[in-house]
Structure 1
Amino acid sequence: MATWRCIICNSIPSSRQTRHSKCNQIIFLALKSAGFPTLEPFDLFSNGRRLDGITQYIYPSHVCHCVNKKVTEIPIKEILYICLAFCGFVLLTNFSLQNNTIGTYQLIKILTTPTIIFLQYSIYGKKFSGKIILTSLPIICGIYINSYYDLKFNLLGLIYGLCGVIVTSFYQIWAGEKQKEFHVNSLQLLYYLSPMSSLFLFFIIMASQPLSFNNLASNHEYDPYVAFLIIFLSCIFALLVNVSTYSLIRQTSPLTYNMIGHLKFCSTILGGYFIFHDPIQKTQVYGILLTMIGVLSYSLLKLKEQFNHKPDNFLEKPNSKYII
């Protein structure tokens, strides 16, 4: 999906911040002309996450029954917090991307890691060793080196970015805590979370970013069936991302999930260089190396702690005192 999206987005003469938004609108324009107007209401997510709503509506009622998995009942009041945090995570991160440069967006996003450490310590009493905290320093430095050439700050973008960091931190923490509190897995949690969050985002996105089919693709023509395939693949990948995200947070911790996210940042830059031949500077290579050193140091320290506490288990059970 990412390859197809890059092909379409790179053909649009627009700034980097708005390419994904126009790409999605062009896809829907192609579907509309091919007789698929009923897909318009599912335009729930901006900048590459719009069709997540389709997946979220389809999957809960079918997957859980197919695997004969009894869905644990969770009070709506309890799921409402993580639902609102999820909606805030989607909206604020996209607004931050739209109002900041790519470098500024990435630099602000890295603050999620220390914010999670602070919230878990202050609210849930989880303690982290000084060595674990220090591993975030080379990561922050590495991402700064990769982003400093594209830093441009503005008040609105800074507000969106910082609010997104706080909301994202709570969302990732609650995603793990609620699974452990109610003894559910990722599919069961998404069973409750998806319909409610999709409903909220439907009205918010339709009010803040209505679809416009005029002057979007006057010089571009796309096969509607290819566009439909892209949307279908987007739905499948969104489902896999949601399930894997919650499963990873439940089995490890929000901090470990963030560390893996930094590897994704490095792989994105390297993938752009090797696959699409995007230019890369020496300073960016140094930044990638620093980031990977920080992630590797974190992994080694956590494995060492895990071995000292439970030498017979590689991963702790969800309710264990020690977490990865």
Structure 2
Amino acid sequence: MAAGDAGAFVLNIISSVFIISVNKRLMGSPPNFNFRYVVTLNALHYITTSIWTRVAKVIGLAKQEESSKAPAHVPLSSVVLFTTVSNASIISLNTSLMLNSITLYQIAKLGIIPCTCCVEYLLYGRVFTSKMVLAIVVTLMGVGLVSINELNYSDSTLGVFVALCSVVSSSGQQLLVRHLQLKHNVSAGQLLGVVAPAQGASLLLLSPVLDKLSTGGYVTDYEWTQGAMVCMALSCSAAVLVNVSQFLVLGRFTAVTYQVLGHAKTVCVLVVGYVFFGGVITGQQLLGMVMAIAGMMAYSRASQSAPAAKPAAQEKPAGESSLEDLLQKNKANNV
């Protein structure tokens, strides 16, 4: 299980860093490929993911225990709720990446942690120990030191507003992934197989209107080149890995844990930015990276030692009993 947890996190980090780099290349202004149709891009991501989930079942890549279960049932209301929140998250994130610098895009994501903490505290009564709070603060300070000097003050007001919207919607989306898996007793792959087609179809329907509003044109107006097509194929392929790994990670951990440990992606993204787009890593930024990594490690240790760190028991579906509950009831009856 520990190896599986580590593997899911590593896959999520690598695929996330890769897709951010590819999307920045695809959507960036010339000499990049200037593909500005964000909603269409997101629709293609989820359509590709939907196709992959079905192909995986056919060729036997899906877990054997999942194939023996009854088909996953997630109520339509839950699918609509998740699709709405997730679409808002993915559109705002990619729009922020298109309008803003990579640094502002990453700095805005720092706000997801306090936002998620507040929601988990208010809805699930989750308790954060002093060690966990301190580790979160150290992580945020470290990433802030890495990023703050690179902040592009020419970013537009619209870009900043979109970045704020991405914070709220992304927090809600990450919380819903874990909540729906626990509530409806479905695996990460089963939930992804249910919601991905809905997201792909809804984004495809919305893309002509939303892309027209944001770019003034339609995707059919775009002049494709060989490089742009290769970049699009890489982006869609990476999206499959990002979606699968994210559902796996959020099904195993809380949204706050995902965000804290996921800031390894911030450090990796900035390093990739330096390597491919030039720049020098200053002593302050190096210190920030060390602080961020130390904070992530400290949070991991603190969350493991905190008995109230996981709210999973509070999210147990009504009418269902755990094995431990059944054993206790049987013991009481025998006495």
* TM-score tier (shorter): 0.7 to 0.9
The aligned counterpart of 2:178 is: 176
Would the alpha carbon gap of residues 269 and 197 (structure 1) be closer, same or farther in structure 2, given more than 3 Å must change?
A: same
Would the alpha carbon gap of residues 168 and 277 (structure 1) be closer, same or farther in structure 2, given more than 3 Å must change?
A: same
The aligned counterpart of 1:83 is: 83
Q: CA deviation at 1:288?
A: 1.1
The aligned counterpart of 1:55 is: 48
Percent identity, aligned pairs only? 22
8 Å CA contact 1:64–1:187 kept in 2: the answer is no
1:249 aligns with 2:259: no
Structure 1 unaligned residues grouped into runs of 5+:
26-42, 310-314
- More deviation in 241-250 or 130-139? 130-139
Post-superposition Cα deviations, 1:269-321, rounded to whole Å, max 9, x if no partner, equal 33444677653222221221121121111112123336xx9xxxxx98x9456
Distance 1:54 1:194 in 2: 7
1:95 aligns with 2:112: no
1:130 aligns with 2:130: yes
1:167 aligns with 2:169: yes
Instruction: Kindly provide the amino acid, as one letter, of the partner of residue 117 in structure 1.
Output: C
Distance 1:289 1:86 in 2: 32
The aligned counterpart of 1:37 is: none
Post-superposition Cα deviations, 1:115-154, rounded to whole Å, max 9, x if no partner, equal 1110000012111112212212122222222222324265
The aligned counterpart of 2:120 is: 120
Q: CA deviation at 1:94?
A: 2.2
8 Å CA contact 2:111–2:167 kept in 1: the answer is yes
Taking only aligned residues, the RMSD between alpha carbons, in angstroms, comes to 3.4
8 Å CA contact 2:141–2:288 kept in 1: the answer is yes
Distance 1:180 1:321 in 2: 10
If the length of structure 1 is used for normalisation, what is the TM-score? 0.74
Would the alpha carbon gap of residues 11 and 197 (structure 1) be closer, same or farther in structure 2, given more than 3 Å must change?
A: closer
Q: CA deviation at 1:84?
A: 0.7
Q: What are the residue-to-residue correspondences of 1:104-253 with 2, within 5 Å?
A: 104-149=104-149, 150-152=151-153, 154-209=156-211, 210-211=218-219, 213=221, 224=226, 230-253=231-254
Distance 2:101 2:228 in 1: 28
Distance 1:275 1:207 in 2: 34
Distance 1:254 1:11 in 2: 30
1:284 aligns with 2:292: no
- More deviation in 291-300 or 102-111? 102-111
Distance 1:204 1:55 in 2: 17
Distance 2:239 2:163 in 1: 23
8 Å CA contact 1:146–1:284 kept in 2: the answer is yes
Q: CA deviation at 1:64?
A: 3.3
8 Å CA contact 2:100–2:159 kept in 1: the answer is yes
Name the SS for the 1:51 alignment partner: helix
8 Å CA contact 1:103–1:146 kept in 2: the answer is no
- The structure with the largest helix share of the pair is 2
8 Å CA contact 2:47–2:201 kept in 1: the answer is no
Would the alpha carbon gap of residues 120 and 45 (structure 1) be closer, same or farther in structure 2, given more than 3 Å must change?
A: farther
Distance 2:27 2:185 in 1: 44
Structure 2 unaligned residues grouped into runs of 5+:
1-14, 212-217, 316-335
Instruction: Kindly provide the amino acid, as one letter, of the partner of residue 208 in structure 2.
Output: M
Would the alpha carbon gap of residues 298 and 231 (structure 1) be closer, same or farther in structure 2, given more than 3 Å must change?
A: same
Distance 2:278 2:152 in 1: 23
The aligned counterpart of 2:322 is: none
Q: CA deviation at 1:102?
A: 3.1
Distance 1:166 1:6 in 2: 22
Post-superposition Cα deviations, 1:65-119, rounded to whole Å, max 9, x if no partner, equal 5446242111111221111111000111222333433333222210001111100
Would the alpha carbon gap of residues 289 and 165 (structure 1) be closer, same or farther in structure 2, given more than 3 Å must change?
A: same
